[in-house]
Structure 1
Amino acid sequence: MEGILALLIPIFALMIPMVAIWTKHQQKLAEMGLETTAATTAEKAAQYATQIQRLEDRVQVLERIVTDKGYDVATQIEALRDARSMDDAASGTPLSFESRERA
């Protein structure tokens, strides 16, 4: 029994530094993983910011188009409606539900 105990004490004494080295190694691996994750997240955030900026620019262009030529667009839509109503009136087809009620 004393022989086994005498053998286990040096084994445990050698295992303590090995566990400490392994723990430090695991900690370094975890830190490297965090750094990699942080870098990847920063890249994705930059990509998303670029995409958002592009979308905002496109929306601004669309807003400019609509507000600058808003009257022309409304006039063109009304002209198309008028042309369609003339075609539909000639063919006898009602334009909408309201015109069906009147008929």
Structure 2
Amino acid sequence: METIKTVVLQGSAIALALLILASLLRAVLGPRFTDRIIAVNVINTLVVAEIVLLSVLLREDFLVDVALVYALLSFLAVVIVARLVLLKRRGMPGQKKQRGGSRHV
């Protein structure tokens, strides 16, 4: 029974690693900036899942704490980047607006 559990956990870890690589490809190629932000967020979520999976596989409880801290930092990073994108699209206070057509990033 223990070997089946180990094989399933290792297979899940490999599947998560492949999904991380696919998301990384989307983050690099993604046509728009928002696609890249979402892909990075998906990568962070998959990394948290991978760390928790490794915590179970290696029987190391402290890795769950590492995963929680990483998830919190990932959430804060996405919120900050989203805020910066909104400020850039609206135009920062004190910044002159450009005349002519609008630019999309």
Q: TM-score, normalised by structure 1?
A: 0.34
Q: Which has the higher helix share?
A: 1
Larger radius of gyration: 1
Q: Looking at both structures, which has the greater relative contact order when contacts are Cα pairs under 8 Å and sequence separation is at least 6? A: 2
TM-score scaled by length of structure 2: 0.34
